[in-house]
Chain A
């Protein structure tokens, strides 16, 4: 089975721009979660999608948004980029079934640098 893929792997943007990151989950997995990792804040949950519906959201400003498509692929968007948005963005895939085991598998990440 192919693993979780994320594109692009590296990205350099300037302040004020917007960016879209993509994540393709493991085949058969319907849940996709996004996390931000920075040296100061560690790994923080952004949001989780299941069957095109957002089921939970972390404490991030509205500039961070996401969506999921019918094939379970997900995108996250950050608008009006700030220097503090520089981070490693990680996507995780799981079966996500209610009440079931929810083991997450991570992609390689997208490293975003905002200049």
Chain B
């Protein structure tokens, strides 16, 4: 099956710093999402981005489908950005099954 790798596994930043999280996947995909999991376990949708670039405030994401990777950029990080960031992909073709990466645990220090 499709493999999803996220890097780095852990990241510690000072408030105000910028960061880039990476998601590599082993096969072509029809759907790709980025999530932020808050301390209570809720998965918050950040981006639905099977290809191209999107921006939402301090966050932006780029997926290069032909090269099988996606990047999540966080600028001017805040303590509230702390948590775990997941990338999830779905191959399509009738699978209806998202595969999650192992996540990047981000801690932003005040």
Contact = CB atoms under 8 A, between A and B. Distances in A.
Contacts, number: 59
B90 A102 contact: yes
A31 B90 CA distance: 14
Interface stretch (B13-21, B71-79, B93-101): B93-101
Nearest to B35: A106
B64 interface: no
Interface size class, chain B: 20 to 34
Given A48-B96, A55-B96, A109 B41 contact: yes
Interface of B: 30-31, 33, 35, 40-43, 45, 48, 50, 86, 88, 90, 92, 94-100, 102-103
27 contacts: A33-B97, A35-B98, A43-B100, A45-B98, A45-B99, A48-B96, A50-B96, A55-B94, A56-B96, A56-B97, A58-B97, A88-B41, A98-B94, A101-B31, A102-B30, A102-B31, A102-B90, A102-B96, A103-B31, A103-B48, A104-B33, A104-B45, A105-B45, A106-B43, A108-B40, A108-B41, A109-B42
